[in-house]
Amino acid sequence: MASESLSAADRSSLQAERGPVNMAVAGTLVFEAGPGTEYDAVAERVAARLHLVPRYRQRLEDPAFGIANPIWIDDPEFDLHWHLRHARLPAPGTQEQLADYLAREMSRKLDRTRPLWELHVVDGLEGGRAALIPKMHHALVDGLAAVGIGMVLLDPTPEPMPIAPPDGGWTPRTFDRRRHLARLAAMPLQRAQQLLVDSTMRALETSPRRAAEDLMRATELASELARQRPQAPMTPLNHPISPNRRYAMTSLALDRVKAADRAAGGTINDVILAAVAGMLRDYLDVAGVDLGGRDPVALVPVSIRRDDEQEAGGNRISTVFVDLPVHEDDCAARIRAVSAQMAELRQSAAVRAGALLVGATGQAPPMVGSMLVRAMGNVRAMNLVVSNVPGPQMPFYMNGCRLLEAYPAVPLNPPNQGLSVGVLSYDGEVFFGLLADAKLDPDVEVAADALAAALEDITALAD
């Protein structure tokens, strides 16, 4: 078949991208520079492994002039080098300059007439380093494509893994609009047949259709939970955003986070949320904002898998609303407050019912967040999104060049959310990426300085 339907998550991500909202996700991957990170070597690697993610050769097509949902079709004009971008930072090539480069790219929406991804090769970083910036539309984060172009390119050893290309290479399949419209007309019969197939497949594995249904159910429950809560307080983070972005990066050793969670009696996720609470405490102080004893609200993915649950193939994840204790002036007290709240949330029947079984990529929670935003309409359910994804605690390589740092960038959605916090742990470090509206006041540098101070508090607690 030459076309594929979009999942519910795909459609939600596309619909969310209106006005100043840009639903691209990205990351900044910093490597030891070497021949393996040069543009030609990266292009050769992408060409050799692109068959592992077929969606990266597909584009959107409107099959029925607006009367049916768009679909994925093979792009007959696919040009790999159009998707690969090459840049060199001016001297001295600082982290701030790299952050500015990513911010400019996150201010530009992807071209919907082409496959919805890009990979930027960035040279000239100080300290003998280079960077890759994978950028993809949120609609690609589904099924196998959730690993992203970045992880497809990397190897767990300096020696690249041999991955044989498919026999005969790649040839785009022709899209026949009349045939697709005929399939739409026959939909009732096909749906009955598909239900029979699905009932069998679900006994064997989690199918993409089942994942989409679970996603919808989780979103509906999360929406109901949000409506039962008081509206989140108004903060400087929640003014209408512009199309332009700013970005900042920082990190902390994972063993410091673990030591802090042992000292205060929480989990790694509790410590990270407490750090975000500490950041917002200082940020709101600089802004001169007093919330009158109320706490900002974060939309957060959380693992609710019990010790006696033995599901294979992923983690049981739900999305919850967390009140960040900015009124606590002590780091340990913030961790304990978050820990108590998270323990209560994990036992909530509604939260457990809204759980998704997801793989190690951790991509389901952002999709729930995207769908939730649209489901909530004008209700201010949260002030920001904090997406914490546990990554591999072992080094990865690009053509023998070691990956040193990995900073995520989480899109701003809805159009009155001016800051998102992406968190990724990798190879003994925890990496924070702050994506903000360019007109955020105070700006993202103030938030980054506040986060650095909160991380210093965590380091002090760990000592």
- The stretch 375-403 carries a mean pLDDT of 83
Place 33 in a pLDDT band, splitting at 50, 70 and 90. very high
Most confident of the following: 3-12, 101-110, 214-223, 340-349: 101-110
The percent of residues above 70 in pLDDT, for the chain, comes to: 70
**In the structure encoding, which two tokens stand for residue 136, read together?**
């993809």
- The stretch 155-159 carries a mean pLDDT of 88
**In the structure encoding, which two tokens stand for residue 48, read together?**
């050799």
Place 190 in a pLDDT band, splitting at 50, 70 and 90. very low
- Mind listing the pLDDT tens digit for each residue in 415-458? 899 999 999 999 999 999 999 999 999 999 999 999 999 999 99
- The stretch 242-261 carries a mean pLDDT of 96
Place 56 in a pLDDT band, splitting at 50, 70 and 90. confident
What domains does the chain contain, in order, with CATH numbers? 3-177 (3.30.559.10), 208-462 (3.30.559.30)
**In the structure encoding, which two tokens stand for residue 193, read together?**
């047949």
- pLDDT tops 50 at residue 16: yes
- Mind listing the pLDDT tens digit for each residue in 230-242? 788 999 999 999 9
| Cβ contact 61:70 at 8 Å | yes
**In the structure encoding, which two tokens stand for residue 251, read together?**
């990190």
- pLDDT tops 70 at residue 402: yes
E strands within 48-116? 58-61, 71-74, 84-88
| DSSP 3-state of 393 | coil
Stronger pLDDT, 51 or 39, i.e. the higher one: 39
pLDDT at 69: 72
pLDDT at 320: 77
pLDDT at 376: 55
Stronger pLDDT, 79 or 308, i.e. the higher one: 79
> pTM for the full model?
0.83
Most confident of the following: 33-47, 297-311, 339-353: 33-47
| Cβ contact 221:320 at 8 Å | no
Average per-residue pLDDT in the chain?
79
- pLDDT tops 50 at residue 139: yes
pLDDT at 165: 75
Residue with tokens 């002036």: 329
| Cβ contact 245:103 at 8 Å | yes
pLDDT at 152: 73
- Mind listing the pLDDT tens digit for each residue in 408-427? 998 998 889 999 999 999 99
- The stretch 203-213 carries a mean pLDDT of 45
Number of alpha carbons in the 13 Å side-chain half-sphere of residue 92 = 5
